[in-house]
Chain A
Amino acid sequence: MAVKVLILEDNPVARSFLSRVVRESFSDANAITEAGDLESARRHINLTGGDHGLHGVDPFKLILVDLELPDGNGMDLLAELVHYPATKIVTTLYSDDDHLFPALQRGADGYLLKEDRFEVLVEELQKIVRGQPPLSPAIARRLLTHFRDSHVADAQAPDSSLMRATTFTTSRPVPIDKTPDHERLTPRENEVLTYLSKGFTIKEIASLMGIKWFTVNDHIKSIYKKLNVSSRAEAAVLASKQGLV
């Protein structure tokens, strides 16, 4: 059965390049839908069952979203597709955490940098689909800050706190209003993130922590999920406050 892929990219040359990357990455026969702006992307998604990918309709399995689009920001579409059952990947020129982190928060499963070489992109894409999302040191740092701030009342300056972050779960008294588990990192996850933020590779982290490579990867996937879940929870709270739900 063909894997349905949606590529949202306004630059036609980049679009065809990404199509090539997708075709190269998956041996299955692909059904690639290309969209040049948010509007046509939404139209295509609605055809496959709307925001939630309704049961019974054949939804997209993979969605590549460019962030800078002529009629808006790809971030908006990601926010709409929080519950859409596809692997969502951000393709962008922006590699800094200021741009990428919000995308990850809105449920993106990974990101591809468009200027990377063809082979690199293919490999990265495969990794993401297999569940090995990338985490740059900057993003790891942002994640650490995010999880610390979301349940430690007194927010610290993000810079001074790498050491604290690694130890706080054990040394700090448990807050009285317990935050839900899905919003907290386990000590292990914290450790992985800290190593990542210092530029270690997954392999190096595995040997440093004395665990298997795929265990580290599981931790990373779990962190992604927690980020996603927590942001979904936040979104839900926000929506109910605004009377949207």
Chain B
Amino acid sequence: MSVTQGAATDAPPFDASEFEPIIDGRMHSRWIGWRLRLLVGLALAGCLMLFVAVRALVAVPAISAQWQPDAMGRAILQSSDEPLLQSYVGQPLERVTAGGQSVAVDAALVLGTPRWTVDDVSRGELLVRRAALSRLLADGSLTLHFSDMPPVSVAARTRGVGGLGLSFWLLVGPALLLFLVGATVLLAHPRLRSALYALMAWCQALSLLWIGMDGSRGLSVLAGPLIDDMPWRLGLDLATAAAAVHLFAVHPVRLKPWRVVAALAWGAAALGVVLATRGDVYGLWWWGQGLLLALGCVAVVVLAWAYRIEPHPFAAVMRRFGYVVLGTLAVVDAAVAAAKWQPAMAFDVATSAVLVWTLFFASVLVWVPFLSRSRQLMREFAMLAGLSTVATSLDLLFVSLFSLEPFASLTMAVFIALGIYAAARQWVFNQMTGSALLTTERTFEQLYRVARELQEHPERYLALVSRLLRELFEPLELLRVPQASPQARVLADGSAMIVPVTAAPDTDGTPVSLVLRFAHGGRHMFTRDDARLTERVVDQLRRAVAYDRAVERGRTEERQRIAQDLHDDIGARLLTLMYKAQDPEMEEYLRHTLKDLKTLTRGLAASEHRLSHAAAEWKADLQQRLTAAQIDLSWSFSFDQDLALTMVQWSALTRVLRELASNTIHHAHATQVEIDASLERGVLSLRVSDDGDGRDPAQWTHGLGLGGVRKRVKLLGGEVRWEESDPRGIVCRVVIPALVQHRD
């Protein structure tokens, strides 16, 4: 049912059913009903969970204070809402005591988290102190011991909702968005790959929320099992990575051993979580991050594998995103690890690098389902995200490695990032987003060429449109589907595009759609912009064809009307004149004129004549006339191509032959005429010889008749020559070198 045109022969055959649910356009109506209700329900549930989290967070007793690390790793009080602490601003806090218990305080306790503490020993010590602090806070009243200052007692209280700080609320937004996108994708197509995507989205939403909670804690710590956030947060990240591996093993191409790959990925993630829970592994942070990076690499490898099986552009684009995500993660890890030697910066680096990276990854996740919607959006997003990530990573790296001033390093990072942006902008555009490499100029040229050709061969509409689309998008496959579709659309995650093409108007008008698969050899995705552009192009071409047809029809009608009028009016009068002619010569002259008129009108009325048909008629006509004049005709006509003569060619050749025969009949007194004609490779040669008593053709007066022959042969771009032939008679040779015009 479908015609595969020039597709790679080893490509899997096109399965139209794959697209049918989408082609049918039920997409929108699907959202009415349970999906929408469920989505609203999920959104409400998300808000509820958030509310519960906020309640729990607010209930944790805390002392409101902002801290800053100093070069020795001490926690300097930066600001506080407590009136009692105002005079301690700028002083380092050494320890906190309550009920006889004491907890040493440093920057790690108030700013760091176990999750991003690289060193095992530091992490273990931090965990102990966190637990102790949690107990102290539960008692209610704490004594803060600042160095060189008298201790001060402050009551730990529960924070109000307003006490959560701006950074928390700023992160709630992206987290909720990510949650909703995950839910939407899952509900739109409840299937395995959507579930995996939703899982990734939700894990990262929780990560974001966690970062938010962490960033505004003051002097407090989450209680109970949350004191050690390492297993939880590493678990969320590992689950995301494992889900990614699983997802890419089943989509876009279901790999044969996808179960094994998925099981291994999940096993590795589970192992990571178990290790983190036990907490006594040497180099836990390194193991965790290494496992994350490894799973990320596996995901990229799986994508590359899938791409080799079927060059689905989704795989290609995802792989590019994968490189960026992994690369930035590696930079972040390096920065965090390097920050160990810069205690003053370590916590800033850890907090902001992780925050930026998580935000970047979250935005990638949010955009993935909409990749094929708009090339422009995607491009801008990718540029912005990439740029800011690069800038931040560089900034942090400079700060931690070269201990530059924060401002200086930020300025430098931004400048370098901008430089990279300016230098690699085009390359990055093409690589990241898979935008077409077409320049406007090339597009225009292709369009123009096809439009011109279409003008000449409107019947090849479908083939030409196919060719144009092939040139524009270089798809791996281009299929014709006998199916109507309301508009050009992007299908199957941007791997295919369907373009409705009404077949040429003179066929039976069955709707045809062209399906393009795998733009640019599978390297790029189709976007809605592509669909829109294609639709416009196809529409314009269709209009051009319709217009040309209308013009041609109008011309034909006009010609036929003129032919009819000429024939009826002038023909009838010439006939009357002929009957009334006084002498045979006049009668013959009028008959000749009448015949010419008929040839002319017939040529006008018909648009083209096949050479084989024309030859048959020429022969029959000449035979009749020569027989009437008692002259034998020997006729041979051979051609290697039965071309369609244009009106001009037909009428010129008809009249040349008739004129030559008339000449023989009236002047040569011949008994035998031999006509040899052949068309070989576009060259028409015609030889008319008689055995009459004509001699010395150079001396002939070329009156109306032979002058007409010369004129018509010249019109066809040929030459005519008369010669004496042995033993008697005249031979006339006509050669027309280019009867077949080169149309392409």
Chain A residues in the interface with B (C-beta under 8 A): 11, 13-14, 16-17, 68, 93-96, 114-115, 117, 119-120, 136-138, 141, 159, 162, 197-201
- B618 close to A (CB within 8 Å): yes
A17 to B591, CA, bound (A): 15
Shortest distance between the CB of A206 and any CB in chain B (Å): 14
A115 x B616 contact (CB < 8 A): no
- Give 24 A-B contacts (CB < 8 Å), ordered by A residue: A11-B572, A13-B579, A13-B580, A14-B575, A14-B579, A93-B567, A93-B575, A93-B598, A95-B598, A115-B594, A117-B587, A117-B591, A136-B617, A136-B620, A137-B613, A137-B619, A137-B620, A138-B613, A138-B616, A159-B610, A198-B612, A198-B619, A199-B620, A200-B619
Given contacts A93-B572, A120-B628, contact A201 B612 (CB under 8 A): no
Q: Which residues of B contact A119 (CB under 8 A)?
A: 628
Shortest distance between the CB of A138 and any CB in chain B (Å): 6
> B618 contacts which of A95, A199, A200 (Cβ < 8 Å)?
A199
- B602 close to A (CB within 8 Å): yes
Which B residue sits closest to A113, measured CB to CB? B598
Known: A199-B615, A199-B623. 14 other contacts (CB 8 A): A11-B575, A14-B575, A93-B571, A93-B594, A96-B602, A96-B605, A117-B587, A119-B628, A137-B613, A137-B617, A138-B613, A198-B616, A199-B635, A200-B619
Given contacts A13-B579, A117-B628, contact A199 B591 (CB under 8 A): no
Q: Which residues of B contact A17 (CB under 8 A)?
A: 579
Chain B residues in the interface with A (C-beta under 8 A): 567-568, 571-572, 575-576, 578-580, 587, 591, 594-595, 598, 602, 605, 610, 612-613, 615-620, 623-624, 628, 635
> B613 contacts which of A115, A120, A141 (Cβ < 8 Å)?
A141
Pairs A-B, 7 closest by C-beta atoms: A199-B619, A199-B616, A137-B616, A13-B579, A199-B620, A17-B579, A115-B594
A118 to B667, CA, bound (A): 21
Main secondary structure of the interface of B (DSSP, over half): helix
Shortest distance between the CB of B448 and any CB in chain A (Å): 32
A114 to B618, CA, bound (A): 19
A201 to B579, CA, bound (A): 29
Q: Which residues of A contact B619 (CB under 8 A)?
A: 137, 198-200
A160 to B62, CA, bound (A): 94
Q: Which residues of A contact B568 (CB under 8 A)?
A: 68
Given contacts A68-B568, A93-B567, contact A197 B575 (CB under 8 A): no
Q: Which residues of B contact A94 (CB under 8 A)?
A: 567
A136 to B594, CA, bound (A): 19
A52 to B567, CA, bound (A): 34
Shortest distance between the CB of B709 and any CB in chain A (Å): 22
Q: Which residues of A contact B575 (CB under 8 A)?
A: 11, 14, 93, 114-115
Which B residue sits closest to A136, measured CB to CB? B620
Q: Which residues of B contact A201 (CB under 8 A)?
A: 620, 623
Which B residue sits closest to A20, measured CB to CB? B579
Q: Which residues of A contact B615 (CB under 8 A)?
A: 199
Q: Which residues of A contact B613 (CB under 8 A)?
A: 137-138, 141
> A115 contacts which of B595, B624, B635 (Cβ < 8 Å)?
B595
Residue in B567, B575, B610 whose Cβ sees the most chain A Cβ within 10 Å: B575
A14 to B613, CA, bound (A): 31
Which A residue sits closest to B576, measured CB to CB? A13
Which B residue sits closest to A93, measured CB to CB? B571
A115 to B598, CA, bound (A): 10
A11 to B572, CA, bound (A): 8
A14 to B577, CA, bound (A): 10
Q: Which residues of A contact B571 (CB under 8 A)?
A: 93
Given contacts A11-B575, A93-B575, contact A197 B616 (CB under 8 A): yes
Q: Which residues of B contact A93 (CB under 8 A)?
A: 567, 571-572, 575, 594, 598
Which B residue sits closest to A118, measured CB to CB? B587
A114 to B598, CA, bound (A): 12
A94 to B568, CA, bound (A): 9
Q: Which residues of B contact A141 (CB under 8 A)?
A: 613, 616
Given contacts A141-B613, A199-B619, contact A11 B578 (CB under 8 A): no
Which B residue sits closest to A123, measured CB to CB? B628
Q: Which residues of B contact A95 (CB under 8 A)?
A: 598
> A14 contacts which of B567, B576, B628 (Cβ < 8 Å)?
B576
A90 to B450, CA, bound (A): 50
Q: Which residues of B contact A114 (CB under 8 A)?
A: 575
Shortest distance between the CB of B193 and any CB in chain A (Å): 48
Q: Which residues of A contact B572 (CB under 8 A)?
A: 11, 93
Which B residue sits closest to A137, measured CB to CB? B616
Shortest distance between the CB of A186 and any CB in chain B (Å): 22
Q: Which residues of B contact A199 (CB under 8 A)?
A: 615-620, 623, 635
Which B residue sits closest to A98, measured CB to CB? B605
Q: Which residues of B contact A137 (CB under 8 A)?
A: 613, 616-617, 619-620
Shortest distance between the CB of B646 and any CB in chain A (Å): 16
Q: Which residues of A contact B605 (CB under 8 A)?
A: 96
Which A residue sits closest to B594, measured CB to CB? A115
A114 to B617, CA, bound (A): 18
A141 to B594, CA, bound (A): 25
